[in-house]
Every structure is written in structure tokens, then in C-alpha cells.
Amino acid sequence: MSFAGTATCILLYALSSSSTLLAQGFDRVREGLPGKSEDRVGYTMTVRLDAENKRLVGKQEIRYRNATQGKTRELRFHLYLNAFRNVRSTLMRESDAAFRRGYKSQAEFGETRFTKLQLLVKDGDPVDLLGGLRYEAPEDGNADDRTVAVVPLPVDFDPGTEILLKSEFDVDLPKAYRRTGWGPGNFFMMAQWFPKLGVLQDADAGLSSWNCHQFHASTEFFADFGSYDVRIEVPAGFKVGATGKQIEEGPAGEGYVFHHFVQKDVHDFAWVADPDYSVYVEDAYQPVLDPKVSSILEDVLGYRTQELALTPVRITYLLQPEHDRKYVLERWKKSVHIALDFFGSRFGRYPYETLTVVDPTRDEDGRGLGGGMEYPTLITCGSPRFPHPRQLSPEGVTVHEFGHQFWFALSGNNEFESAWLDEGFNSWSEGRALDLAYRSYDKKLGVGAPLVTRAYGPWIFPGPPAASLGPLPKLDKVAIRRLVGKAAAYIPWYDKLDGALGRWNGELRLLPKGMPELDVLTYLPVLGNERLMPTSALYGDRAGFLRAGIKDPVDRFAWTYADRPSYRSNSYSRTSTNLATLERFLGPKVWTPLMRRFHERARFAHPKPGDFYRTVEEMGGVEAGRLARDLFLTTKSLDYSVTVKVKPPWGEKGLFDKGEKKDTEVNGATEITVYRKGQIVVPVTVRFVYWKDGAPVNEDVVWKAAQHAPWQRWVVSLADQAKKGELIQVYVDPPRTDLEPWFGPGGVYLVDQNLLNNAWQKTPNQRPAKRRATRALLWTQCLSNFFGVMG
Amino acid sequence: MSESQDKPVMDEEAQVPAFPGLLQALFLGPQALWTVLRAPVVLLFVFFCMTLPAFLLLSGYYENLNSVLAGNPLANGRGGLFLLQDYDRLHPGGHELPGLMQIVWTLMITFFAAGLLSTVGLGRRPRPGLTGFLSESGRLFFRSFRTLIPSLILILIWTGLFIVLLKPWVMGLDIVHASNMRAHWVLFGLNVLFLFGLGKILILRRLALARLVHTGRKSALLAWLWTLRYWMRHPFVTITAYIPLFLLFAGGALGAVYGLDALLARYFEQDSRPAYFMLAAQVFPLFYLAVNLASFLLARHLVAMDTAIREGGAAEPRVVFAPEPSKTEPATSVEKDAVGSGDVVSAKPAEANPDVRPSSSEEALAWEWTPEDSAKKEG
Ligand SMILES: [Zn+2]
């Protein structure tokens, strides 16, 4: 093939005059929300779903602009459906064995391929590009991975120019174990379904390079913002939901109908189809501003109220028939409204006209196919068969996936390289939104909530929510040894048996797995005597982070974490706990505007981790910036502790000179030592509580970061106590009741590794342990009856 | 046979009950529960034995927890849950609930169930006290244990068959997936089927044990074979008889949970007194235990009636189960030993007992069948 004259085929593109409304990079000085994206890419596609054979046939026209400073001689495409070709793909290798085992037959795998790929030439014949296509695996060199296709260009793709590509592709759909593909019934989830260009970025030596990662087990998103115009053809009777706004629908011949969707300023396009869907539409939900938040934004950032105004959204709900009940629909609606209000108030208006809420199907094992997942203007969020009011499902997943519209769809960070910038920021936001909306509050403080209690059928587990605590209280081995006595030591397999049964017991279920319809039985209301202890997302996040330990810095490429638990902890719960710590460190008056500004600058802008640290520094000060870097860039931990020694009066024995002896002297003392056991150095408050005139009196001292000593000691003599009152309690990092209405219970440093050593009191109180042991006793009794029925 | 040392309550000669109809069967479960509740000493003793290991285990747990939390004012505050989480994570001796206890609990019921069937479930006058109950439990333990084994094996087989074969096969059929709703209802039906199968095995185990106790024989295998034949004879009545017990069990649990939730909320507050809560909440395990024990007694009655019909002669005799007014054991309804029970060792001729009809309102609550009630005899 001759490439003569192809230089002219690259369409020249005149860059539009720069406008403050455009965004592609994080803008460090931006104030206010950008109106639209830079629109580097455009996809015009037609796709037909052959439901019977579980196939897609598609055509696409892609417009792509080289907005970098350098040129390139190749294109890179994501062909993500190929991750489901066989068990050798990188996604399959990185997934756990159980996931691979889940594939039961050949028909459950799938793949995609170009059947045509051409570069369009102005006034000339299109140039075929398919001949040069090859697969590459830039991250792991896996020769079996076909999720990245490299296509050489016959000519340079110069900066500032635009190319037009035309392609045809077909797809054999896999079973939707990981979101994309088909499910039982006639459910089709179309995510990562079309050939999609990577992101051309500036690199060295006048050449630009493609940021185009393989499909990994845990991350999958990074693309340029652009425009999508997609015509979807499905068999008549199928209901369709998709990214963007439907502008047209009608017959497409051969028993098919078409749905035409368009959307600007997004970086992905997903759709679903299922004839069984019940469709509900809310024409225009008007999100409501949180006045507390608005007033801070007005005060600190100088906003006028009308600048904060939110715009109405058309919301479509696609419900599986088993969820087509008013009660369930109302729960979905309420959670979407809460999310639109919360995120809009804090981070700026949701700029798209539509939102599609999809209830994915489940397979026979109860696995939600499609799971909870985010795509621009389309979210999937499943519900149990009979959602229990205290279960916060579907609410939790709905608020989470909606949150991704802000921390993913609008911010468009590179998920492969910093998953925590979307998952972690979103986990933190989701937790706060749920806490504010769904936990019922103590009238006095505005906090406090009933605990959700996990139960096993009629056998009640009188404990805190399963999400934040293991299902079983841990018993003490010493106590068991005491009970079983030495006998156990003579049974060689005792430990083994005990361990095995214990593990099984750890997830004891009356029903084997895969009976989702009966899951509702496992949620019964409170049977606990810690009822008014508030449930908060903080508990689950902190526990998840600390359980996983610190193996990596948070700020790391997602596929390079030590293991999957480390990926999960760092990307979700640790980031969330870190952000909760920062927000408590700075308080609502600094934190709220800080996060607002960060989102404004990140909107349509692919933010990077450094952008966040700098924003914290700029708006929260040097100390907060240092803390943020410690929390996200290092493996340093934080742990303050306090030990107290009470020294009784030692009297006046011994030899004294005349006048040395004072009969009146009171010489006993209390010694308080605060230790800094972690490597993170931050100022911390030490609180001394004195009992004076029948009431506690607090005295707070700040142990400054500048004092880099590993410990600090205070001595409170009996003489002092005679004046101030008896010293009854000491706290390091005491509870911040002033922050509770905003952020929930706790001190400042939720990242503290061990709160058991953070306080001391003179008079022991056995009730907390008794309450807890009572719950455990009841649970154990219920368990005894379970085995009694077997007996 | 040691049973001969007790004086069994005898019926009118040649009177054998007709097997109850479906409607009557509905009342058998609640009546069995009532019988258990009227033997409070036995019930409380079993309850005490089941609770003691839990209590001992938890006392160690409490001591350790208390040593960490008692001196920390945060534990009683609003963020106290953080501390519990840290305790669970950091306590070095942390250990899951010992598996051994699960076996102990299973065996405990295996032990007590036989004694219960032999004393509370069998009309005796005078009724043996706690010592008698224990000695009967001990005497019959190995028989009870032998009838347990087939049921454990059956549970394993049923669960395995269900999860490995049945469910995947059914859910793999194309016709099931014609629509989402159909797939869901098929799945739902399968789950109900699984629970039903599990329940059936538990009922069969109770019937087999009751048969052994009732006849005084020793072969668990024969008892199981007899039980399987029994099931062929009376499947619907037996299921019907157990449904109210199951509903009482589930409904009682739900009601109690919601009730306690509302009533005791104020005791759950911070710094509340856990002792009140603990005492009040004992209603749950006690109720579960009573229903479980009643499920054994129910089996005992079904077996007694069937045995009387099949092995006690073809006539239409009449057996009345009624409380025996007795000064030593006033609070329990009593069941007659059926005529010609086939107990080879203690085969005593049945004697007439003219004094069987209940005469007080209290006794009217007890078990009673008359031929008129038994009109709808199962074919
Ligand atoms: Zn997420």
C-alpha cells in the first residue's frame, strides 16, 4: 500500500481560542466550575445486539485531536472485552482463583475484534490500518493479554491536528461475572464494549505517548473527555438505558428497534438492555442545597447564593421485575435524591441532564451481575430481594455509585495510576452522605444512631453491624484453655478442629450461600444494649484500614500494591480514613471550601495526587499539607498513647535540717506520660479532667509537633489537685464533640493505630465490658440452640 | 427393662386412638410446647446446662475485655465502638468461639432429648424427678446418639446433593431463564425445597428416637427404617403437625425481638445496667429451647399413636392423653403408654384407667382425643 500523499490526509485542526471554560488539566488557580470539557475525542457509533446469539456488531467513527506538544506514529486502543477471552488474560490472572473457577463453560467467555479499521482521508480513499494491528501488554508483558491493541499510523499524527477513523467490530459477549456481558433472563450489561482510544499525553523528545493500560483486575478507567453519539439497535421489546440523553427511537427493521443517545463532556459510554425491566422516570428532580454548607462556601470562598444553585435532573430507574415494588423504588429514589443534594451542595452542581439508575440482575448463586458500578450518567446498584430497612441496601451502593459521578465521571483521574483519587474520595463522601441522611440522631448533639444487628435466621446475633465488626466476638484463648482445661492439650487435633470449626463458625449461616431471597432473615432490629452508640461509616472504614495493615503507601499505581487486600484498603478504607482525619484536623470551615475548590479544579481535568496535596497545603496550611503527604505518600503510622502512674504520698521520713520539714506538705503526685509511638508527628491535645465542686473541669494542653521527643511527661502533684480538683481522667486526642454533628464521633486522628491506650480514668468502670460480654453471651446461647436443633 | 419399675398409666383396654386428621394435627405442636412448659424443672435444668458453658467461656472473655476497657473513659463514650474494634483486632489471645463447644451442645440435646421423651413425654406415676430424668437421659444416651448419626449423614448428603447437583442442574435449564421472574421464583422454590428437606431430616430423627424410646428397643437402624415407613403412611399429618411449631418458633422469635427492641430500649443506653438486659433477654434462648424440646415430644406422640394403631390391634380403641392429677408432679400433662407398644421386655397388659377424662379447666388444656375428633382418619 502506498502512503504517498497521506500527509495531507491528516485534517488540520485550528485550536479554538483558549477559554476559561475549557479544562483538560488540573487548573491550580481556577475558581468556579468549568462549564464544559476540552472535548478531545468524539465517538459516533451504531451497534446492534443479537440477543439470541449473545453478540454485538458495531460500527464507529472516531474523531481524535492531538492536544499534546508532540507527535506520534501510532494509535492505541483498549479492547477490554478480550479480558474475557480465556483464563490467561491479565484480568483473569490477577483475579482470585474462585473468580476463574466461576466460569462454567466455553459459552461464558467472550471476545472482541476489529473487522475493519481505516484512517479517513480528505478527498481520497480511506487507508487501511488493520494490517498493522498488534497486541501489547505494557504492564506485565503477558503475551496472552489482548486488551491493548497497537496500530501504527502511516504518517505522523502532529500536535494540534485531528484525525478521523472508521471501524467495524464485533463482539461475542461473555457472561457478566465482572459487569460486562449477559446474565440470566435476557439481561445485557454493555460496559467496556467498544474499541476505545487511550489517552495521548505529553512525553519527552517531541514525541507524545499513549497512556493505555491493560484491563486489570481492579482498575479500568482512564480516557479523554469527549462527545458520544450512539445508536443502539436491540430486538423489539427490549428496554434500554444508556449514558446520556435519548433523543430518538424507532423501528430499525428485521424486528429491531433503535435508541439514539447523545452526551457531551463524558469519558465513557455504557448501556444496558433487558426486556423485563420496569421503567420509572422522574422528569425533573430539583436537588436541594445544604444551607450549612452553602453558608460556609459563601463566607470563605465568596460565592453568591445563585452561583451555588443546582439544576434539575431527569432520573430513569430500570428495575428488575422482582424489585418492581413501590417500597423498593421509593428507597432508591430517596437515596439518589440524598446523593444529588449532598454532592451538589458540597462539590458543585451535577452538570448532566440525565441519570440512569440500573438494577442489575443476579445469577443463580446470588451474585449481582453488573454489581454496583459507575459509568458517566449511568450507575448500577443492586438491591437484595427484600431489602430490610436497617440494612442500608440499596442505599449504600446507590450513594456510592452516584458519588462516582463526581469522583470519576467529572474528575476523570487516571484510575489505573491513582485509584484512591476516585474510590477513596468517593468512599469518604459516601460515608458522610449516608451518616448524615440515614443515621438517626441524638437530639442534644445531633448524633447517635441505632445499631444494625446481624442475626442468623431466628438466631439472633446481638452485636453491632456485621459490616464493621466480625460476626463473632473473639474469645480469649486463655479462657478457653482454662475451661477445657489441660484435656485439650492432650487432644492432638484439638487446635486444628477448633480452627476449622471456628472459621466455619465465623460465617455461620443457617442457609448455604446463594440464597439471596432469604438474606432478609439475617437482618433483624437491634438486640443490643449499645443501642445509642452511633453507627457511622467511620467505624467500617477505620476497621478495614487497620485490619489490612500498612503494606504500601496509598499513592501508588493500582496494580503494584503488595496484594489485593492492600489495594482494597489503600484505595478505599485507608484513603477514606485519611480524609476523615484531615477533615477533623482542619474542621468544617476549612475542609468544606478546600474540597470544593479541589473538585472545581479537578472537574473535566484529570487530577493527579500532587494536585490534592498542593490544594491541602494552599488552603489548609503547611502542617495539613505535611500531614496529607505523610498519610498518602508514606507507610508511616500514627499512634499516641498515655500511661498514668499514681504515686501515693511518701510522707516525711528521714533526716532533715531545721526548718526543712514542713508538716503541712502534701507530696503525692500523678505522673502522666504521653508517648508518640508512630512515625507521624503532629500536634496532639492532651486533656486533664479534674473533679471540682461536683463537676468535671477540662484542661487541654497541646503537645506540639515541634517537640519531636518520643514522649512527654506531666506531673500533677497532690498540691495541684488540692487547688484544681482531683484528677479523674486523662485523654490524648480527646473526643471532639464539637465536630460530631459534622463528622461523627472520635478524636482528630482516626488513623490512630490503637485507641485502647488513648485515655485513662481513676475509677474503673466495668459496664462497657459487661455490655459487650452480655451480647456475646446471648449470641453464644443462640448458637447453642442452633446446635440443639441439630442434636 | 427398667421401665417396668415405674408404674405406667394404663388405658381402657383395647382402646387405640385413630391417627389424627390434618385439622387436629395443627394443635399437636402447641400442645407439646405446653407440655414442655409444664415441666419447668426439666426445662430450666436443660437451659442451665446449655447456658453454663457459654457463661464460663464468656466470663474469661469478659475478664480480658474488662482489663482493657475498665480504665478507659473512651469505652463508655460515643466512640466506644472504636475501642471494641481495636480490642478484637489487637487482643493477642483472640480466638474464635471454640468449635468443641458446638459439638458439646449438639450432644447435650442428644442426651437430654431421650430423657425428656422417656419422662415428660411418657405418662408415669409418680413421674421421676430430676434424678429420674437424668438417669433416663443417661440410660438412653447411646440410643439417642445412634439415631443422631443417620440424620447428620443425611443432612450432609442432602446439602451436598442440593448444592452440587440439584440446584446447578435446575438453574442451568434454559426454560428456567425464559424470564427474570421465572428464574427468581424457581430459585426461591429451590430454597424452600432445601429448607423443607432439612426440616424433614430433623423430623425423621425425632421420630426415630421417639420410636426407640417408645418401644424400648435398641436398634437405631430399625428405628430409622420404621420411621421411613411411618413417613410413607402419614406424610401430610406429620408435616402439618410440625408447621405450627415452626411458626411459633419463627414468629415467636420475631415477636420477641421486636418486642424487646421496643420495651428494653432504655436499658441499652450508655452507662445502662447490663444485668437487666441480660436477664430479660434470656427469654429468647429459653423459648428456643422449649420449642426444640417440644418438637421431640410431638414426635413421641405421633409415634405412640401410630404404634398403637399398627401394633396394638385393629380395633378402634380409644386412648385419651390427659394429665394425671398427681401430688408429686402436679404441673405436667401426662401421656399414656400406648397399649401393646411392642416393647418386648416390658410388655405389660394394658389396664383400664377410668379416670382419664380431664375434669378441671386446667386439665382441659391438655391433650385429648376422642373418637369423634378422630373422624377424619388419614387413609
Ligand atoms: Zn467505587
ipTM of the complex: 0.82
Q: How far apart are CA A429 and CA A403, in angstroms?
A: 7
Ligand 1 centre from A26 Cα, in Å? 22
Grid coordinates in use for A651?
Answer: 510522707
Would you state the cell numbers that stand for residue A583, as one nine-digit string?
477533615
Residue B279 CB contacts under 8 Å (≥ 6 apart), including other chains: none
- Mean pLDDT, residues A571-592 taken together: 97
**Are residues B308 and B348 in contact, defined by beta-carbon separation less than 8 angstroms?**
no
Residues in chain A: 791
In a domain, A716, yes or no: yes
Question: Which residues form the domain of A88?
Answer: 1-236+244-255
Residue A420: the pLDDT is 96
pLDDT confidence band for A244 (50 / 70 / 90) = very high
Q: How many alpha carbons fall within 13 Å on the CB side of residue B277?
A: 31
Model confidence at B201, pLDDT cuts 50, 70, 90, reads very high
- Apex CA A479: angle with CA A544 and CA B67, to 5°? 65
Out of A514, A529, A768, name the one closest to residue B268 (CB).
Answer: A529
User: How confident is residue A578, by pLDDT bands cut at 50, 70 and 90?
Assistant: very high
The answer to whether the CB of A47 falls within 8 A of the CB of A198 is no
Is residue A605 scored above 60 in pLDDT? Answer: yes
**A99-113, B154-168, B336-350: lowest mean pLDDT where?**
B336-350
Rounded-to-integer distance, Cα A173 and Cα A196, Å? 17
* Alpha carbon of A102: minimum distance to chain B alpha carbons (Å): 12
Task: Render pLDDT for B56-74 as a digit per residue (tens, 0 to 9).
Answer: 777 777 888 888 899 999 9
Nearest-angstrom CA–CA distance, B25 and A783: 30
- Look at residue A121 in the predicted model and tell me its pLDDT: 86
pLDDT at residue A664, rounded to an integer? 57
- Cell numbers for B374, please give them: 378422630
Express each pLDDT in B101-116 by its tens digit. 778 888 999 999 999 9
My answer on whether A498 and A644 are in the same domain is no
Per-residue confidence band for B332, with pLDDT thresholds at 50, 70 and 90: very low
- The pLDDT of residue B328 is 42
| pLDDT reported for residue A53 | 93
**Average pLDDT for chain A:** 83
* Domains contained in chain A, number: 4
- What's chain B's length in residues? 379
Of the candidates B375, B300, B293, the residue with the CA atom closest to the CA atom of residue B341? B300
* Same domain membership, residue A647 and residue A612: no
Q: What is the pLDDT of residue B189?
A: 82
Least confident of A126-140, A746-760, B178-192: B178-192
Name the residue in chain A with its Cα closest to that of B195: A511
Give tens-digit pLDDT for B164-190.
Answer: 888 878 877 878 777 767 777 787 788
Tell me which chain B residues have a C-beta less than 8 angstroms from the C-beta of A781.
50-51, 54, 282, 284-285
Q: Determine whether the interchain pair B180/A187 forms a contact, defined as Cβ–Cβ distance below 8 Å.
A: yes
Residue A260, domain member (yes or no): no
Q: Look at residue A478 in the predicted model and tell me its pLDDT.
A: 47
Assess contact for A550 and A563: CB atoms under 8 A. Answer: no
A609 located within any domain: yes
The pLDDT assigned to A528 comes to: 32
- Of A461, A460, A437, the residue nearest A535 (C-alpha): A437
Residue A433 φ then ψ, to 5° = -65, -45
Instruction: Provide, rounded to the nearest whole percent, the portion of chain B with pLDDT above 70.
Output: 66
Q: Is residue A2 part of a domain?
A: yes
- Cα distances from A492 to residues A484, A486, A497, A498, B96, in angstroms, run 14, 12, 10, 11, 19
Residue A75 burial class via C-beta count within 10 angstroms: exposed 0-12, middle 13-18, buried 19 and up: buried
Question: Does the distance separating the beta carbons of B258 and A488 come in below 8 Å?
Answer: no
pLDDT for A327 equals 80
SS (H, E, C) A27-80: CCCCCCCCCCCCCCEEEEEEEEEECCCCEEEEEEEEEEECCCCCEEEEEEEECH
Cβ distance B85 to A539 less than 8 Å, yes or no, reads: yes
Chain A residues close to B66, C-beta within 8 Å? 766, 769-770
Task: Note whether A677 and A563 are same-domain residues.
Answer: no
Confidence of residue A443 (pLDDT cuts 50, 70, 90): very low
Q: Among A43, A52, A45, which residue's Cα sits nearest to residue A234?
A: A52
Whole-Å CA distances, A496 to A371, A473, A492: 36, 20, 8
Q: What is the pLDDT of residues A700-719, one digit of tens each?
A: 999 986 567 899 999 999 88
Q: Give domain status of residue A377, yes or no.
A: no
Do the bridges between strand A256-266 and strand A226-235 make them parallel or antiparallel, or are there none, so unpaired? antiparallel
Residue bearing cell 440500573: A358
Co-location of A190 and A224 in the same domain: yes
- Can you give the pLDDT at residue A579? 98
A574 and A590 assigned to the same domain: yes
* CB-neighbour burial class of residue A318 (10 A; exposed 0-12, middle 13-18, buried 19+): buried
Residue B279 burial (C-beta neighbours within 10 Å; 0-12, 13-18, 19+): exposed
Q: Which residue has the higher pLDDT, B324 or A202?
A: A202
Per residue in A719-735, pLDDT (tens digit) is 889 899 999 999 999 99
- For chain B, which residues make up each domain, given as ranges? 3-61+96-378
Residue type, B78: R
Cα–Cα dist A174/A183, whole Å = 9
Higher pLDDT, A223 or B8: A223
Higher-scoring residue by pLDDT: A316, B5: A316
Written as nine digits, the cell of B183 is: 428464574
Query: Using 50, 70 and 90 to split pLDDT, how confident is the model at B259?
Result: low
- Please list every residue in chain B whose beta carbon sits closer than 8 Å to the beta carbon of residue A361: 180
Of B296, B276, B278, B298, whose CA–CA distance to B286 is shortest?
B278
B91 CB-side CA count, 13 A:
26
CB contact under 8 A, B65 and A497: no
Q: Does B376 touch chain A (CB under 8 A)?
A: no
Q: What is the mean pLDDT of residues A741-749?
A: 90
Categorize the per-residue pLDDT at A645 as very low, low, confident or very high, splitting at 50, 70 and 90: very high
> Which residue out of B96, B157, B291 would a mutagenesis test of the A interface target, given it has the greatest number of A Cβ atoms within 10 Å?
B96
Three cell numbers at A547?
Answer: 485490619
- Is residue A733 situated within a structural domain? yes
What contacts A626, CB < 8 A, 6 or more positions away? Answer: none
Q: How far apart are CA B172 and CA A363, in angstroms?
A: 11
Closest CA to B146 of B224, B83, B68: B224
DSSP state of A207: B
- Burial-class residue B274 by CB neighbours within 10 Å (0-12, 13-18, 19+): buried
Higher pLDDT, A103 or B336: A103
Q: Are residues A446 and A568 in the same domain?
A: yes
pLDDT band at B6 (very low <50, low <70, confident <90, very high): very low
Q: Give residue A370's pLDDT.
A: 64
What's the pLDDT at A569? Answer: 96
Are A406 and A490 found together in one domain?
A: no
> Above 70 in pLDDT, residue A10?
no
3-state SS, A7-19, equals HHHCEECCCCCCC
Of B57, B148, B202, the CB nearest to A480: B57
CB contact under 8 A, B97 and A460: no
Residues of A in contact with B196 (CB under 8 A): none
List, for residues A255-305, the tens digit of each pLDDT value. 999 999 999 999 999 999 999 899 999 999 999 999 999 999 999 999 998
The CA distance from A53 to A50, in Å, is 6
Query: What average pLDDT score do residues A74-86 get?
Result: 95
Q: How would DSSP label each residue in B123-187?
A: -BSSPP-HHHHHHHHHHHHHHHHHHHHHHHHHHHHHHHIIIIIIHHHHHH-GGGGGSHHHHHHHH
Q: Is a pLDDT exceeding 80 seen at residue A502?
A: no
For residue range A145-203, what is the model confidence (pLDDT) as tens digits? 999 999 999 999 999 999 999 999 999 999 998 889 998 778 899 999 999 999 999 88
Q: What percent of chain A has pLDDT over 90?
A: 60
Q: Are residues A169 and A79 both part of a single domain?
A: yes
Three cell numbers written together for B38: 409444664
Q: How far is the CA of A532 from the centre of ligand 1 (A)?
A: 30
- The rounded distance, in Å, linking the Cα atoms of A716 and A671 is 6
Q: Which cell numbers hold the place of A326?
A: 413501590
Q: Give the range with max mean pLDDT: A400-414, A435-449, B159-173.
A: A400-414
Q: Does B91 touch chain A (CB under 8 A)?
A: yes
Asked if the C-beta of B149 comes within 8 angstroms of chain A's C-beta atoms, the answer is: no
Tell whether B263 is within 8 A of chain A (Cβ): no
**C-alpha cell at position A362:** 443476579
Read off the pLDDT band of A309 (50, 70, 90). very high
First to last CA, chain B: 35
Chain A residues whose CB is inside 8 A of the B202 CB are: 789-790
User: Ligand 1 center to residue A791 CA distance, Å?
Assistant: 45
Q: A486 and A446 share a domain? A: no
Whether A547 has a pLDDT exceeding 80, the answer reads yes
A364, A448, A460 member nearest B167 (Cβ): A364
Interchain pair B50, A385: CB under 8 A: no
- pLDDT tops 90 at residue A113: yes
Q: Closest Cα to residue B121, out of B39, B41, B45?
A: B39
Confidence of residue B236 (pLDDT cuts 50, 70, 90): very high
Does B145 reach chain A within 8 Å, measured CB to CB? no
Place of cell 449470641: A779
Query: Between B95, B101, B188, which is nearest A517 by CB?
Result: B188
Q: What is the mean pLDDT of residues A427-444?
A: 76
The CA-based angle A444-A448-A449, given to 5 degrees, is 135
Chain B nearest-CA distance from A760, in A, is 5
Answer whether B97 sits within 8 Å of A517, measured CB to CB: no
Q: Is residue A153 part of a domain?
A: yes
The answer to whether residue A275 is domain-embedded is no
Examine the domain organization and report whether A495 and A522 are in the same domain. yes
Rounded-to-integer distance, Cα A430 and Cα A323, Å: 23
Confidence label for A362 from pLDDT (cuts 50, 70 and 90): confident
- Mean pLDDT confidence for B24-37: 91
In angstroms, rounded to a whole number, what is the distance separating the alpha carbons of residues A118 and A168? 9
pLDDT tens column, A161-171: 999 999 999 99
CA of A401 to the centre of ligand 1 (A): 6
CB contact (8 A) between residue B109 and residue A506: no
Place of cell 473541669: A697
In chain B, the residue whose alpha carbon lies closest to the alpha carbon of A364 is B171
- What pLDDT sits at residue B294? 93
Q: Does one domain contain both A305 and A416?
A: yes
Nearest-by-Cβ selection for B99 from A498, A532, A767:
A498
Q: Do A524 and B66 touch (CB under 8 A)?
A: no
Same domain, A483 and A589: no
* Distance from the B191 Cα atom to the nearest Cα atom in chain A, whole angstroms: 7
* A172: its cell numbers: 461475542
Q: Are A316 and A359 in contact (CB under 8 A)?
A: no
| pLDDT band at residue A651 using 50, 70 and 90 as cut-offs | confident
> Distance from B13 to chain A by nearest Cα, in Å?
36
Asked whether the predicted pLDDT for residue A390 surpasses 60, the reply is no
For residue B50, pLDDT beyond 80 = yes
- What residues have their beta carbon closer than 5 A to ion ligand 1? A 423
* pLDDT tops 60 at residue A338: yes
Higher pLDDT, B88 or B209: B209
Our CA-based measurement puts residue B282 at a distance from the nearest CA of chain A, in whole angstroms, of 8
C-alpha torsion sign, points A368, A373, A379, A384? positive
pTM: 0.81
Strand A523-524 versus strand A711-717 pairing type: unpaired
Task: Spell out which residues of chain B touch residue A443, defining contact as CB-CB under 8 Å.
Answer: none
